[in-house]
Amino acid sequence: MKARQIKPNVYWVGAIDWDRRLFDALIPLPDGTSYNAYLVQGSQKVTLIDTVDPSMTDVLMSYLEDVPVIDYVIANHAEQDHSGSIPQVLAKYPNAKVVTTPKGKDMLVALLLIPEDRFITVSDGESLSLGDKTLEFIHAPWVHWPETMLTYLREDKVLFPCDLFGSHLANTGLYITDEGQVYEAAKRYYAEIMMPFHTSIEKHLEKLKDYQIDIIAPSHGPMYDKASFILEAYRSWVFGPPKNIVVLPYISMHGSTEKMVEYLVGALVQRGVTVKQFNLSAVDLGKLAMALVDAATMVVGTPTVLVGPHPNVAYAALLANALRPRLQFVSIIGSYGWGSKAVEQLSGMIPNLKAEVLDPVISKGFPREDDFKALDNLASTIAEKHKEQGFV
């Protein structure tokens, strides 16, 4: 494979994984992904920025066939999809050193058994001269692990942020061509991976205001030659107020909960509230996660199974709790046959959501007039709360 130039003596040397469909045995990848690594050839030193997933080490090594020397391997992040090929690179280049944060060193020693004497650790703001090019290291913990940093190539104004600003998108184009497609993929990526750490991401976005950036070169998905495209998207996801949206994940076994969902959705729409409804019997959890980025409210719909919520609903509640979206209000609707602790159990599953809990609506059997009235009240409360908070 031939390295692809992005600036004079700066090359993309990544691997495109068209077939990967699951990350961390959890996250769906409908469009595959890529593991982007970059080669920076300074007048005195040669550097590789990140590597690729161990399943694609051969691809990376094929780019390096004609590269006689590598002095440094920058490890922005210790997770194996970027660090996993470092041992093979170090084996080929016995004098190369791994440059990373002190925490990154600890983790790479533990995860990949790299000898301690192969490391140089860098502090926040430290720079490394390659001759006519300079790398600056920006510590950025919790993107989405504790050891992470970003690397800035000063003379060319290229930011290498590893996972930050990435998208799981297999694509042969170096830069984004279809903004809509990349926006969707980057938002899915933010929702699944970065949103739980949005308070850290807030700080990193503030820090990046001091840098002039021509190109953002993440380690997944295409690069951004208009940095403002992804910076503005992130600012809206992280800083923007929630929107006049209700996310409604639900499941129904015999039609009672489904009838309540159908009624509530109609009542909310009548009151000017947008609803994103997800039947959990066949859902892309990435789409649910994306909807949670913007929504002001989540209403969960569940029948009662063995006294508690349906397991698929419990799973969705636990996922929402782990993703820490900016939800302001939550509620539960559903049904039971002879007894239920679904509300108590579901409420206990979402301690991370700092949201006001609105009165649940639970019907015994198929919903009747009183239940529909209660659903109307719930819809009115949600619409009023959204107006009061300025989300409309």
Q: Give contact residues for ligand FEO (rule: CB under 6 A).
A: 77, 79, 81-82, 144, 163, 219-220
Query: Which one, 141 or 308, has the nearer CB to ligand FEO?
Result: 141
Query: Which one, 109 or 358, has the nearer CB to ligand FEO?
Result: 109
Query: Which one, 221 or 303, has the nearer CB to ligand FEO?
Result: 221
Contact of 12 with 36, CB cutoff 8 Å: yes
Cβ atoms < 10 Å from Cβ of 200: 17
What's the closest the beta carbon of residue 28 comes to ligand FEO, in angstroms?
Answer: 15
What's the closest the beta carbon of residue 148 comes to ligand FEO, in angstroms?
Answer: 8
> CB burial class (10 A; 0-12, 13-18, 19+) of residue 154?
middle
What's the closest the beta carbon of residue 143 comes to ligand FEO, in angstroms?
Answer: 8
What's the closest the beta carbon of residue 340 comes to ligand FEO, in angstroms?
Answer: 40
Q: Residue 136: left if φ>0, alpha if ψ -120 to 50, beta else—which one?
A: beta
- Give the span between the Cα atoms of 53 and 19, in whole angstroms: 13
Query: Which one, 79 or 258, has the nearer CB to ligand FEO?
Result: 79
Residue found under tokens 């002095």:
71
Q: Rounded to the nearest 10 degrees, how much is the dihedral formed by the CA atoms of 125, 220, 144, 181?
A: 120
Residue found under tokens 């104004």:
157
Residue 39 CB partners (closer than 8 Å, separation 6+): 3, 10, 11, 13, 46, 47, 48, 49, 63, 64, 67
Residue nearest to ligand FEO (CB): 79
- Give the span between the Cα atoms of 233 and 183, in whole angstroms: 8
Contact of 325 with 195, CB cutoff 8 Å: yes
Q: How many residues does the chain have?
A: 392
What's the closest the beta carbon of residue 277 comes to ligand FEO, in angstroms?
Answer: 31
Helix, strand, coil content of the chain in percent (nearest 5): 35, 25, 35
Query: Which one, 40 or 107, has the nearer CB to ligand FEO?
Result: 107
Quickly count helices (H) and strands (E) in the chain.
12, 24
What's the closest the beta carbon of residue 35 comes to ligand FEO, in angstroms?
Answer: 7
Phi, psi of 387 (to 5 degrees): -65, -50
What's the closest the beta carbon of residue 87 comes to ligand FEO, in angstroms?
Answer: 17
What's the closest the beta carbon of residue 81 comes to ligand FEO, in angstroms?
Answer: 4
Query: Which one, 110 or 392, has the nearer CB to ligand FEO?
Result: 110
Query: Which one, 23 or 211, has the nearer CB to ligand FEO?
Result: 23
Query: Which one, 77 or 386, has the nearer CB to ligand FEO?
Result: 77
